[in-house]
A and B are shown apart, each in its own frame.
Chain A
């Protein structure tokens, strides 16, 4: 045979064209929009990195990361994977490699001059399961989601992604201890509320797969039994359960919707014996085509076909929202529409990402009520509903708090700002997640200022 076969020709053409294409493409991208992360940079040519081989490894990674048409090819790649390998069932388990996971949260850094908002993986490194020993409900079975090597289990059902919850007693005990310590340090001078938000795995109809995820309601009950007097638990489970047919959780993002947050708010008000503001009082703004964190993690087609819509409720009270990033202060909107046009970050419209090292919201209500909310990203859609009730609301996210540019711990902070009420708003997976809890603990106990 004196000719090249068609596949040999295609092979040569492809590798040459791609090789040349990458070579002449001088403007290498630095950020991957579709993955929401920074891409590997060209490594610096140093003798030490040549000798230990890291220069070559990094270069190879850089080459792949900045490969021509990468974002488009990534999309096609996951489409192929799903088309070829996954039978189109309505229920699937997606195993997500946590080292490749990205969330919508900006990274908390210690660098004061760093305004980089790269995203970090939200890792779930839980320890082996033990059953909770409370008498009110049956014990959850031991679940095998051992995230040892960074594998997360997501159940995709009916176009929605659900993170499979595995109760970890040690972490829940730790959370209770941290709050109890806070209560002690404050000497019972002010009410402390704990609001744990369940995730959608608690409410999504799992049909014959019920039992695949541990009961979060039981986990919360266990937690509440561990609180000392002075800490009031807010039960949001009942109200959410009542409204579970409504759009209270996103299908493509791990957060609850503003509507879900609203119902939780009503539960909070009820606990305090106050009247919630009716939702009708708020003007609604609609943001379409939202594909969020769980879509980014699973890249599942059935989720892609069911994008979410964000309904945000605009505050009607006059307010000033001051967000501090270290020493830099910016005044931003509670519902910050600059995030509405991003690809994967639309949830950040709530509380303008809530990523300040600390923040202060002052309202027109001069009623002397000053609240401190210690929250995670679930709190971002919750806090806006509190504006009609307080004169000042301080917001701290334990992951972003900076001990150098603010008070050395939260007790000092409370004293300095004259706070008279404390609310913890965290979601179930963060209570279960040791690293988050450690940053919360540090917030309360930090002594030496660093």
Chain B
């Protein structure tokens, strides 16, 4: 099931909310959440839900077992084996094909690649579980005593299928005792609607439009067409993924959970380093806390540690060489930025930084998008004039002319501009009331309701369109 579907919005969600708020007891609410989360997951993964449940119980036992063995030093062995076990499961489902393919190419043997299928969300719940057992081992959190409350953490439908990668220690309190408030619910609904709008109104359209340039035979692609195509892809992936995180966070609030932000306007960054502090924050902080720092961080073997983290970051996104290249690409940029560019940071005018950023990000997305490296290189060539049929073309011009408003809205949406407009409105209007609401609240409500209605209407007009980050 996906959030941006009519079935979720009009069947699952209302039933769920009504049941949840009909009972007044935290335990019953947790039961409702676990059951509905399992139903939610089974809807998309009727067979591999078994892996989710088994993984949940496995990591629960590891947690309690680490706790029991704290005194006798066996904890380290237990957690290490458990990490390997978790990664093995993930590797088996996600990377088996990739591994075998490369083994075949290297050695010439011909092991058949069986297509097992990738269970939805396995990358997310595996990482969640690893963060839990390591945190228990480090003593940062006590092992969860109830297997069902732990299962709730692992399987909660808000963040199960596409993140954010929520840490157990951040939600433990919420699981045990939730503060339900109108304020949280209101904010949750607003956040959810914004996420839905980002996905349905912007991301899905950007996907259609990007196809105009990215689906064509590249030997006829003009320079401007390549830039337009990859720009639309950049728009699509941001609104798709951040939209989903918004919905997850919004749902959390509606149910009394508080999750950390996963995106912070990444496209206003001026460097790759800054970008990665704003993009998929839960993933980068996972790698920082559980890989980078244990390896020595920036104190010992700094560059080696960065290399490992970026290879893993790339590989996490997909079992294919282009993702590894994408990770390596950022490794190189980050090193150059840290050891060269930032030393002369003040000497480079801001506009050059922004231009630099736009170029490196779009080039990065080229690697991300094309699973074939030769396609990626051909596309990059065209972007910089090599092998392009022309600089522009009639079709590109007509297209850009027609969709310039859409692109403009999307680009503005990448910045905090709209948010700051609402802050201004609030500043001026919050003293004035109409009935029980202040004027700025009414304005925001009208806008949000309009976005929600528009999203529903457009969902009817679109067919099933799963999230980009859905295959993780």
Chain A residues proximal to chain B, CB less than 8 Å: 1-8, 10-12, 14-16, 18-19, 22, 50-53, 56-57, 59-61, 63-64, 67, 70, 73-74, 76-78, 80-81, 84-87, 89, 91-93, 95, 97, 100, 128-129, 142-146, 148-149, 151, 153, 155, 208-209, 211-212
Q: Is A64 in contact with B463, judged by CB distance below 8 angstroms?
A: yes
Closest B residue to A91 using CB positions: B398
**Could you tell me the distance between the alpha carbons of A149 and B10 in the complex, rounded to whole angstroms?**
32
Sampled A-B contacts (21; CB under 8 Å):
A7-B448, A11-B192, A12-B14, A15-B9, A16-B18, A22-B10, A52-B46, A52-B47, A59-B7, A63-B6, A67-B460, A80-B454, A84-B405, A89-B401, A95-B212, A129-B217, A142-B389, A146-B215, A149-B215, A212-B394, A212-B395
Interface 9-residue window, one of B145-153, B180-188, B277-285:
B180-188
Interface 9-residue window, one of B321-329, B420-428, B436-444:
B436-444
B442's partner among A6, A11, A149 (CB-CB below 8 A) is A6
A76 CB, min distance to chain B CBs, angstroms: 5
Q: Which residues of A contact B208 (CB under 8 A)?
A: 95, 97
Q: Which residues of B contact A59 (CB under 8 A)?
A: 7
Q: Is B406 in contact with A85, judged by CB distance below 8 angstroms?
A: yes
B185's partner among A4, A22, A51 (CB-CB below 8 A) is A4
Q: Which residues of B contact A4 (CB under 8 A)?
A: 182, 185-186
Q: Which residues of A contact B394 (CB under 8 A)?
A: 208-209, 211-212
A410 CB, min distance to chain B CBs, angstroms: 35
Closest B residue to A50 using CB positions: B46
**Could you tell me the distance between the alpha carbons of A129 and B209 in the complex, rounded to whole angstroms?**
23
Q: Is B464 in contact with A144, judged by CB distance below 8 angstroms?
A: no
Query: CB-defined interface of B1-16 with A at 8 Å, one 1/0 digit per residue?
Result: 1000111011101110
Q: Which residues of B contact A80 (CB under 8 A)?
A: 454, 457-458
B44's partner among A56, A93, A95 (CB-CB below 8 A) is A56
**Could you tell me the distance between the alpha carbons of A136 and B5 in the complex, rounded to whole angstroms?**
55
**Could you tell me the distance between the alpha carbons of A11 and B247 in the complex, rounded to whole angstroms?**
14
- List B211-268 residues whose CB lies under 8 Å from chain A: 211-212, 215-217, 219-221
- List B262-303 residues whose CB lies under 8 Å from chain A: none
Q: Is A19 in contact with B10, judged by CB distance below 8 angstroms?
A: yes
Q: Which residues of A contact B183 (CB under 8 A)?
A: 1
Q: Is B445 in contact with A87, judged by CB distance below 8 angstroms?
A: no
A7's partner among B14, B15, B205, B452 (CB-CB below 8 A) is B452
B109 part of interface (Cβ distance < 8 Å): no
B431 CB, min distance to chain A CBs, angstroms: 16
**Could you tell me the distance between the alpha carbons of A52 and B185 in the complex, rounded to whole angstroms?**
37
Q: Which residues of A contact B211 (CB under 8 A)?
A: 95, 97, 149, 151
Closest A residue to B43 using CB positions: A56
Q: Is B182 in contact with A3, judged by CB distance below 8 angstroms?
A: yes
**Could you tell me the distance between the alpha carbons of A52 and B45 in the complex, rounded to whole angstroms?**
8
B19 part of interface (Cβ distance < 8 Å): no
**Could you tell me the distance between the alpha carbons of A431 and B205 in the complex, rounded to whole angstroms?**
32
Q: Which residues of B contact A7 (CB under 8 A)?
A: 186, 189-190, 193, 444-446, 448-449, 452
Q: Is B5 in contact with A12, judged by CB distance below 8 angstroms?
A: no
A144's partner among B205, B217, B458 (CB-CB below 8 A) is B217
**Could you tell me the distance between the alpha carbons of A16 and B11 in the complex, rounded to whole angstroms?**
8
A87's partner among B14, B18, B405, B460 (CB-CB below 8 A) is B405
Number of A-B residue pairs having CB atoms within 8 Å of each other in the complex: 191
B445's partner among A10, A91, A128 (CB-CB below 8 A) is A10
Q: Which residues of B contact A95 (CB under 8 A)?
A: 208-209, 211-212
B103 part of interface (Cβ distance < 8 Å): no
A64's partner among B6, B46, B219 (CB-CB below 8 A) is B6
Closest A residue to B407 using CB positions: A85
B24 part of interface (Cβ distance < 8 Å): no
Q: Is A85 in contact with B403, judged by CB distance below 8 angstroms?
A: yes
Q: Which residues of A contact B437 (CB under 8 A)?
A: 5-6
| In the complex, the 6 A-B pairs of residues with the closest C-beta atoms, listed nearest first | A77-B461, A144-B220, A6-B445, A7-B448, A85-B406, A7-B445
**Contacts known (A6-B441, A7-B190, A11-B193); A81 close to B404, Cβ less than 8 A:** no
B72 part of interface (Cβ distance < 8 Å): no
A60 CB, min distance to chain B CBs, angstroms: 5
Closest A residue to B404 using CB positions: A87
B374 part of interface (Cβ distance < 8 Å): no
**Could you tell me the distance between the alpha carbons of A80 and B462 in the complex, rounded to whole angstroms?**
13
**Could you tell me the distance between the alpha carbons of A128 and B215 in the complex, rounded to whole angstroms?**
13
Q: Is B460 in contact with A73, judged by CB distance below 8 angstroms?
A: yes
Q: Is A56 in contact with B405, judged by CB distance below 8 angstroms?
A: no
Q: Is A63 in contact with B7, judged by CB distance below 8 angstroms?
A: yes
**Contacts known (A5-B189, A11-B189); A142 close to B220, Cβ less than 8 A:** yes
Closest A residue to B9 using CB positions: A15
A309 CB, min distance to chain B CBs, angstroms: 28
Q: Is A77 in contact with B436, judged by CB distance below 8 angstroms?
A: no
Closest A residue to B8 using CB positions: A60
B33 part of interface (Cβ distance < 8 Å): no
**Could you tell me the distance between the alpha carbons of A14 and B452 in the complex, rounded to whole angstroms?**
9
B25 part of interface (Cβ distance < 8 Å): no
Closest B residue to A71 using CB positions: B460
Q: Is B402 in contact with A86, judged by CB distance below 8 angstroms?
A: yes
**Could you tell me the distance between the alpha carbons of A77 and B6 in the complex, rounded to whole angstroms?**
14
Q: Is B456 in contact with A18, judged by CB distance below 8 angstroms?
A: yes
Q: Is B186 in contact with A1, judged by CB distance below 8 angstroms?
A: yes
B41 CB, min distance to chain A CBs, angstroms: 11
Q: Is A11 in contact with B401, judged by CB distance below 8 angstroms?
A: no
B206 CB, min distance to chain A CBs, angstroms: 10
Q: Which residues of A contact B453 (CB under 8 A)?
A: 14
Q: Is A67 in contact with B6, judged by CB distance below 8 angstroms?
A: yes
**Could you tell me the distance between the alpha carbons of A6 and B446 in the complex, rounded to whole angstroms?**
8
Q: Which residues of A contact B192 (CB under 8 A)?
A: 11
Q: Which residues of B contact A129 (CB under 8 A)?
A: 217, 220
Q: Which residues of B contact A8 (CB under 8 A)?
A: 185-186, 189-190
Q: Which residues of B contact A1 (CB under 8 A)?
A: 182-183, 186
A171 CB, min distance to chain B CBs, angstroms: 16
Q: Which residues of B contact A73 (CB under 8 A)?
A: 456-457, 460-461
Which of B211, B453, B458 is the most central at the interface, judged by chain A CB atoms within 10 Å of its CB? B458
